[in-house]
Amino acid sequence: MLHNKSAIVTGSTSGIGLGIARALAAQGANVMLNGFGDAAAIAGLIEELRALGVQVRHSAADMSRPEQIAAMVAEATQAFGAVDILVNNAGIQHTAPVHEFPVDKWDQIMAINLSSNFHAVRSALPQMRERGWGRIINVASVHGLVASVNKAAYVAAKHGVIGLTKAVALENARSGVTCNAICPGWVLTPLVQKQIDDLAGREGLTEQAARARLLGEKQPSLEFATPEQIGALAVFLCSAGADQIRGAALNMDGGWAAQ
Ligand code: NAD
């Protein structure tokens, strides 16, 4: 379905971004991977996706650095001839009460989880508008819709991502460029594993008990959403069936936000 389309997926060396990159490549899209990690592991991912018959590259651009974001978009445009699909996914977490929240962590979360989306959109959007087709998918979070304690920066940034999503969708509503947000609940990735480990350590729980506690507190299905499921939603958002989904925040959260 996405043969002859090219995508950038930020933060795609791990977790949800990798799930989305795999799903887009499986539909025939060329993919610019991005994110940090072990060079051999990243080379392995590139080989894995190239075996699907698509072009694959990796950019080590730091999403907290606007000039590196612009350079990544330029590199993908030159390598693939176009950027048709932009998935803003890179994100980090830090938990602390707001009055103890480290100022540098606040700034870092705002830069990576929110401002990077703006910088990537402003770089990639003009060519999408020129061609009359584009898909911008921002991986927000259920924390873009509701809050939890000790996550002030993350919650503020993700609410901001949903606001940005709506603004971009509206500005491009009469074009073939759509912009939507995906709002996952708990997904078992390294970002969440760290929170499971912290909880287990803090409360003396086994890892399994800590996982069950995390799900039990928030996610009524008591099951994690998976990177594959989020990849499938991203593919749908790239399809013609999603032409009139604009400015939406689609939660995939096991019922979290329905409570
Ligand atoms: P992850 O830690 O598995 O992956 C994060 C990716 O972002 C990695 O590829 C990492 O290298 C990259 N990254 C981090 N900082 C970067 C930077 N400065 N520049 C470039 N790349 C950077 O995390 P994940 O759980 O897959 O999270 C992906 C996105 O999904 C994030 O925006 C996160 O907020 C969101 N999300 C995750 C969950 C969840 O339960 N895991 C739930 C809701 C939303």
Determine the 3-state secondary structure of 21 from DSSP. Answer: helix
Whichever domain contains 142, its CATH number is 3.40.50.720
CA of 133 to the centre of ligand 1 (A): 27
Q: Is the CB of 231 under 6 A from ligand 1?
A: no
Q: How many residues does the chain have?
A: 259
Q: Are residues 26 and 91 in the same domain?
A: yes
CA of 191 to the centre of ligand 1 (A): 7
**pTM (whole model) above 0.85:** yes
Provide the domain limits for residue 201: 188-224
What's the confidence (pLDDT) of residue 255? Answer: 98
Q: Are residues 59 and 181 in the same domain?
A: yes
Average per-residue pLDDT for the chain: 98
Q: Which of 42, 58, 189 to probe ligand 1 with, by most ligand atoms within 8 A of CB?
A: 189
Nearest CA owner, ligand 1 atom 31: 91
Just list the catalytic residues.
154
Q: Are residues 209 and 122 in the same domain?
A: no
Token pair listed for 177: 């460029």
Number of domains in the chain: 2
Instruction: Quote the DSSP letter at residue 179.
Output: E
Q: Are residues 179 and 195 in the same domain?
A: no
| Cα distance between residue 204 and residue 213, in whole Å | 12
1 assigned to some structural domain: no
List pLDDT tens digits, range 70-117.
999 999 999 999 999 999 999 999 999 999 999 999 999 999 999 999
List pLDDT tens digits, range 208-247.
999 999 999 999 999 999 999 999 999 999 999 999 999 9
243 assigned to some structural domain: yes
Among 59, 39, 43, residue whose Cα is nearest residue 51: 43
Mean pLDDT for the stretch of residues 180-197: 96
